[in-house]
Copies of this chain bind each other. A is one copy, B any other.
């Protein structure tokens, strides 16, 4: 008999929730603003509201679910069900799982947002049937999930896959993590925008200045992609540098864990072949010959639905259903 789960992807701006079946099919969904400024209790109430809405959308009841999954940002203790720290939510030591168990009386699980996205791509997306893969999310920050021999790895402190903090410029920009030259400082959405701003501020001409009406703080990955298509040299440079820096970090990662597949997702990856072509070139130039012969680099299939699908899938994975 087919089993079902509901899961929410908690972002700094929005909550996305889905009801899925074991095959990853989305039967109902809902999207609500996070309203993080109103505090953790309000946010958790919003998640619950989105769960109720997604269930209604699927014409199903909570009793039809085998469990609830939550994908959340930041540092957490997944066993205790506590968010230790989430900068973009303003959360510190927030009890997350308990209120869901109390209200719904169902097994509830949480994990970091990038890891649940990996679970979705692995089980239902670009990684279906592949037992060894890396799934990288290029968003405001950069993170990844790692599947090895058919198992999603978490690590001793749930920190496996922190590719965003691989050093690519040993004397580079200082990162929030305390290190310098982290790939996240260059190849994330924030990093791309910074590189573009710095080039423009140092005197390079770019149509992006006009595109953002002179307010350079409005430059983002989408604008860089659009300017790229107009042949803007700053945008082209930024895209190639993004690929170069990400390529270094990915080649390191591949040399260390020997995957069959690398899946690239997140807003920055919407650049498509503008990014993927120079990225593949950089990785293949750097990675060792034997792991290089088997590794493929592809884009995410589930796009921005990977978070909510993966959150729901977490309730399957943690109960040994998938």
Contacts and interface: CB of A to CB of B under 8 A. Distances in A.
A285 B181 CA distance: 12
Contact of A255 (B166, B285, B288): B166
A50 B248 CA distance: 43
Given A153-B148, A167-B168, A256 B290 contact: no
A191 to B, nearest CB: 15
Nearest to A259: B156
Contact of A179 (B132, B161, B170, B287): B287
Name the 5 nearest CB pairs between A and B, nearest first: A155-B258, A162-B255, A159-B258, A179-B286, A159-B291
B256 A162 contact: yes
A295 to B, nearest CB: 8
Nearest to A168: B170
Interface in A159-175: 159-163, 165-170
Given A290-B157, A291-B157, A256 B166 contact: yes
Contacts of A138: none
A9 interface: no
Contact of A160 (B157, B251, B257): B257
30 contacts: A132-B155, A146-B256, A148-B148, A148-B153, A153-B257, A155-B258, A156-B258, A156-B260, A156-B294, A158-B290, A159-B288, A159-B290, A159-B291, A160-B256, A160-B257, A161-B256, A166-B252, A166-B256, A167-B252, A167-B286, A168-B170, A169-B170, A178-B285, A178-B286, A178-B288, A179-B251, A179-B286, A249-B252, A252-B256, A257-B257
Contacts of A132: 155-156
A289 interface: yes
Contacts of A244: 170
Nearest to A154: B258
Contact of A258 (B157, B163, B249, B286): B157
A78 to B, nearest CB: 12
A195 B68 CA distance: 56
A293 interface: yes
Contacts of A169: 170
User: How many copies of this chain are found per oligomer?
Assistant: 2
A288 B162 CA distance: 9
A91 interface: no
A159 B248 contact: no
A253 B257 CA distance: 10
A288 B164 CA distance: 10
Contacts of A258: 155-160, 162
Nearest to A253: B256
A2 interface: no
Interface in A60-86: 75
A177 interface: yes
Given A167-B251, A289-B178, A256 B256 contact: yes
Interface in A116-156: 132, 146, 148-149, 153, 155-156
